[in-house]
Amino acid sequence: MSDRKLLNIELGRMSVEEYRQSPESGIVVVLDNIRSAHNVGSAFRSCDSFKVDRICLCGICAVPPSAEIHKSAIGAEYSVPWEHFDRTLDAVSALKRDGYCIVSVEQTVNSVSLDDFSIAGGRKYAFVFGNEVSGVDQEVVDASDLSLEIPQYGTKHSLNVSVSVGIVLWVAHRR
């Protein structure tokens, strides 16, 4: 059996303009002091794939235009709206005022397993992803409505932040 790969033109993807004019998903991604521009670029690419409304780049995050972001994002930095905040808490406060449920993706005493998490219809969510070494800042966790933990079974305590973004968005999109 032969199985031909689809050409990009056959995938039926939106243009950047169509993406920006399409209905909102109710999902925002917040990156809390992500050091690697490549991880930021990968987050942009996943956010585009799952039609995230915007990305909040906080603290030391690299911001477009950036060759390193572009290398991983492959253009998603043009489709997904973004804004920069000096402090992650400022982004969280603004999102709370706009009615978002703030979800820190972090391992905490009371974190909810991703297996048990469900999206409430009509509710808006902001998923906060933390620094590659220290995770989501404790002040941000404290300001969140809940913490969400991705189940893991090996010896490492965490996944790469860009992998975590993809996993959480895929689950949120499916539910």
Residue 74 belongs to a domain with what CATH number? 3.40.1280.10
The answer as to whether 15 is a domain residue is no
- Are 55 and 150 in contact by the 8 Å Cβ rule? The answer is no
The total number of structural domains in the chain stands at 1
Return the closest-CA partner of residue 31 out of 2, 74, 71, 73: 73
Q: Which residues pair with 58 in a beta bridge?
A: 32, 85
Does the residue 8 lie in any domain? no
Distance, CA of 57 to CA of 174 (rounded, Å): 25
Q: Which domain holds residue 76?
A: 23-174
pLDDT band (50, 70, 90) for residue 26: very high
Sheet holding 54-58, edge to edge: 82-85, 54-58, 27-32, 124-129, 100-105, 146-149, 112-113
Q: How far apart are CA 138 and CA 24, in angstroms?
A: 29
On whether residue 59 sits in a domain, the answer given is yes
- Read off the pLDDT of each residue in 26-53 and give the average, rounded to a whole number: 97
Lowest mean pLDDT among 10-14, 65-69, 77-81: 10-14
9 in any annotated domain: no
pLDDT class of 121 with cuts at 50, 70, 90 = confident
Is there a domain that residue 6 lies in? no
Residue 98 lies in a domain: yes
Q: What are phi and psi of 16, to 5 degrees?
A: -60, -45
**1 pLDDT more than 80:** no
